[in-house]
Amino acid sequence: MSDSSRPDFIVSRKGRVEAVIDAKDKVKLSMQDIYQIAHYGQLCEARRAIIYIANDTEIPRNVEAYAARLGVRIIRTQWRAP
């Protein structure tokens, strides 16, 4: 994986990459965000690709559908929760 292409976290166990994880602090999640973490997952041969987002981050329906198609899990945190 090149220096310009790395996730925030890589979780491995017994030499196998279990998950690649990115944390995004932004107003609106984009298709590029989903593509990026899915790409990281492919490069690492990870079992899971996950994006953590703030509680108030907007997820457009087409982005949510794209994530589902690529097997990317989106998890809302309590960051900026009301």
Domains of the chain: 9-76 (3.40.50.10050)
Distance, CA of 58 to CA of 10 (rounded, Å):
25
* pLDDT band for position 79 (cuts 50, 70, 90): confident
Nearest-angstrom CA–CA distance, 12 and 30: 27
Residue 3 pLDDT grade (very low, low, confident, very high; cuts 50, 70, 90): very low
* pLDDT of 40 above 70: yes
Count of other CB atoms within 10 angstroms of residue 36: 19
Q: In the chain, how many H helices and how many E strands?
A: 2, 4
Alpha-carbon Rg for the chain in angstroms? 13
Distance CA 1, CA 41 (A): 11
